[in-house]
Structure 1
Amino acid sequence: MEFKKIITTFMVAAISVASSITASASDFPQTFEHRYGTTVVEKKPLRVVSLSYSGHDNLLAFGVKPVAVRYWYGDHPYSVWPWAQEALGDHQPVILKGELNIEQIASLAPDLIIGVTSGVTQEQYELLSAIAPTVMSEAKYTDYSTPWQLRATTAGRAVGESEKAAELVGSIEKQIADIVKTHPDWQGKTASVSFFYNGTPGGYRSIDTRPQLLKRLGFDTPKLLDAAADEGEFYANISPEDLTPLEADVVIWMATGDALAGLKEMPLRKKMQAHIEGREVLADNLLAGAFSFSNTLSLSYALEKLVPLIELAIDGDPLTIVPSTQKSGLLD
């Protein structure tokens, strides 16, 4: 089927149900300036395709059920992790895996495509924007560095749920403020969000959403880690022969399965001061996922689980056991 014919055929379906949805006229049109130009959303969308690897959670939090979502990783129904399953309900979105299939997306007859933190290229954007208004990351951000607050409020504006987005962001901001208030000693400390992937250790640089969250709690990314990759890169691979860039007041390891086994076998990890002084935190699969998704549904869970672990790790006393680290075998 020719590309234009796909668009024409399936857009008729979206138009036919438009009369069943009402929205405040004052919410639209909405204009978005982004890395590839300007997008105008003229009216409240009815069929939203989410290309962000984690952005569909925000839509679900707003009560918007996307017709398609982007698969990132994990083995959860419809690529929706436990913290968002209640919001998903019995909805069954199409799952977009691997390379984007433009004709598949066109066949879904979307009237809005959200591509913030999706890695969509200029060429792909041109094709997608011929199908429906397509909202991308602002030009000042890299592919995956848009702050979680802006991702939420951008999606909220695009679907006519700005108030709900602001409410959810405000709730998490209060949670963060309360943590900061009760942990003044964290200000100026350092934390590395570290990983072991395909046999290589590494860490996330300060432009990544995970260190951004820790920065809000008071923790800086180690300067050596930030300097270990080119500007614009959100992570840096580190030589297993020199783990110095990962040293910090708290080292948060994100490794499960084979990666965890490899991490435990890495000889120089046990020479790190963070290990010697008991300042390692192992984020299990669910915590690591919530931390990585960093959206309005995952962040409360991530903070609730992560903060108590940091509290135990940061005292520098190896006799203070961090349960997740012990359970993982990293203390053996």
Structure 2
Amino acid sequence: MSSLRIFGVVAVATVALSLSACAPAADDTEAAAGDGVFPVTIEHVYGTTTIESKPERVATVAWSNHEVPLALGIVPVGMSKVTWGDDDDNGVLPWVEDTLEELGAETPVLFDETDGIDFEAVADTEPDVILAAYSGLSQEEYDTLSKIAPVVAYPDVAWGASLSEMTLLNSKALGLEAEGEQLVADLESETDAALANHPELEGKKVLFSFIDPTDFSQIGFYTSHDTRPGFLADHGLPMPEIVTEESEGTDEFYVTVSSEEADRFSDVDVFVTYGDAGGTIVADLQADPLLSQIPAIAAGNIVVFENGTPLAASANPSPLSIGWGVDEYFGLLAAPFAG
């Protein structure tokens, strides 16, 4: 997975309590997985995938797909290794570590996707299904994975599946469609409650950007197809006009415009970017003759997620990251307007 997808790609105990009605204990995993009616057919960008019987061995590729079975009490036999956002270099994000511990499970096989999908490693786990509802699988990758096991690809736009879409597609493939719907409802309620704790954010337009600190000639930002702005929009926060305009003309999750078009960012209330701890990104943005014309930058309404931290990774919302830190996440976005 590219560093841009991850980079410019939430307390688990709370999630476990809120999902107790639908998340079985590890000992009950097999029985829970059999609750669905098979075969089930999943529609996605490359056609349809039919899963004939309940999966006993679940593998996942790409970002966060493994969190759906884990949230429902199913431990995958293999999942993607985290290379950005990990706090202890073990390839697993902290909210996933917490859930594995809750389930009394060992860490699954980790697929290193730094240079693309490791098809051999996936095949070695002998999966019955491969979940990739949130991904950017190419046709060739999908075809290769399909020779190993039935594959759930993304619904329409690469890296464009929302949190709810990913959850519903992946849970349906497990025969747990009703449990997936309840999981989505619980996550939405938890997110809305956390957002209500930060009334300063009401009506605020947030721009998620990535600006190369060595090249201020371009402003890169995420479109409505990306989960970061999409998640906020799903919970009632309006999008900046430039995000709406640029999203209408592309299927890409990330675009760039010239800094000479700085006036197009005039309605942005919060300018979010990524940077190094103790870095000078805020001062540098405010000192730039073009970028400083953006009102949010001039006013200092800049939120910097520290590179490579779990909180930065949680900006890509996922079933387990919500409970881990969504309140802290909203608090950071609201910081420019707090007392």
Q: If the TM-score is normalised by the length of the shorter chain, which range does it land in?
A: 0.7 to 0.9
- TM-score of the aligned structures, taking structure 2 as reference length: 0.75
Listed as ranges, the matches of 1:135-284 within 5 Å are: 135-138=152-155, 141-178=156-193, 188-197=203-212, 199=215, 201-228=219-246, 230-257=249-276, 261-262=280-281, 264-266=283-285, 267-268=287-288, 269-284=291-306
- Provide, for residues 240-284 of structure 1, a one-character-per-residue CA deviation record: whole Å limited to 9, x for no partner: 454344444432423132895456424334443213334222233
Q: CA deviation at 1:142?
A: 0.6
Q: Among residues 314, 321, 329, which one is paired with 1:306 in the alignment?
A: 329
1:326 paired residue number: none
Q: CA deviation at 1:50?
A: 0.7
Alignment partner of 1:105 is 2:127: no
Structure 1 segments unaligned to the other structure (5+ residues): 1-19, 321-332
Q: CA deviation at 1:78?
A: 4.8
In the alignment, the residues of structure 1 paired with residue 227 and residue 304 of structure 2 have an alpha-carbon distance, to the nearest angstrom, of 18
Flag the 1:34–1:260 CA change in 2: closer, same or farther, 3 A. farther
Amino acid at match of 1:39: T
- Provide, for residues 126-169 of structure 1, a one-character-per-residue CA deviation record: whole Å limited to 9, x for no partner: 2211211111112xx21111110110121112123334323322
Alignment partner of 1:81 is 2:93: yes
In the alignment, the residues of structure 1 paired with residue 83 and residue 64 of structure 2 have an alpha-carbon distance, to the nearest angstrom, of 10
Aligned residue pairs, count: 294
Alignment partner of 1:53 is 2:63: yes
Q: Pick which of 75-84 and 184-193 moved more.
A: 184-193
Listed as ranges, the matches of 1:1-80 within 5 Å are: 21-22=30-31, 23-24=33-34, 26-71=36-81, 73-74=83-84, 75=86, 76-80=88-92
Equivalent residues of 1:205, 1:221 under 8 A apart = no
Equivalent residues of 1:33, 1:39 under 8 A apart = yes
In the alignment, the residues of structure 2 paired with residue 54 and residue 118 of structure 1 have an alpha-carbon distance, to the nearest angstrom, of 9
Flag the 1:311–1:155 CA change in 2: closer, same or farther, 3 A. same
RMSD: 2.9
Structure 2 segments unaligned to the other structure (5+ residues): 1-28
Question: 1:85 aligns to what SS in structure 2?
Answer: helix
Flag the 1:287–1:181 CA change in 2: closer, same or farther, 3 A. closer
In the alignment, the residues of structure 1 paired with residue 83 and residue 266 of structure 2 have an alpha-carbon distance, to the nearest angstrom, of 28
In the alignment, the residues of structure 2 paired with residue 219 and residue 183 of structure 1 have an alpha-carbon distance, to the nearest angstrom, of 12
Q: Which has the higher contact order (CA 8 A, sep 6+)?
A: 2
In the alignment, the residues of structure 1 paired with residue 234 and residue 95 of structure 2 have an alpha-carbon distance, to the nearest angstrom, of 22
Equivalent residues of 2:111, 2:117 under 8 A apart = no
Q: CA deviation at 1:95?
A: 2.3
- Provide, for residues 82-108 of structure 1, a one-character-per-residue CA deviation record: whole Å limited to 9, x for no partner: 122111233242223221232332222
Equivalent residues of 1:249, 1:314 under 8 A apart = no
1:118 paired residue number: 135
In the alignment, the residues of structure 1 paired with residue 332 and residue 282 of structure 2 have an alpha-carbon distance, to the nearest angstrom, of 19
Equivalent residues of 1:190, 1:222 under 8 A apart = yes
Question: 1:65 aligns to what SS in structure 2?
Answer: coil
Equivalent residues of 1:194, 1:246 under 8 A apart = no
Equivalent residues of 2:270, 2:302 under 8 A apart = yes
Rg larger for = 1
Q: CA deviation at 1:305?
A: 1.1
In the alignment, the residues of structure 1 paired with residue 97 and residue 172 of structure 2 have an alpha-carbon distance, to the nearest angstrom, of 23
Equivalent residues of 1:194, 1:254 under 8 A apart = yes
Question: 1:120 aligns to what SS in structure 2?
Answer: coil
In the alignment, the residues of structure 1 paired with residue 119 and residue 178 of structure 2 have an alpha-carbon distance, to the nearest angstrom, of 32
Flag the 1:205–1:85 CA change in 2: closer, same or farther, 3 A. same
Amino acid at match of 2:250: E
- TM-score of the aligned structures, taking structure 1 as reference length: 0.77
Sequence identity percentage: 27
- Provide, for residues 218-239 of structure 1, a one-character-per-residue CA deviation record: whole Å limited to 9, x for no partner: 3222222443474111112233
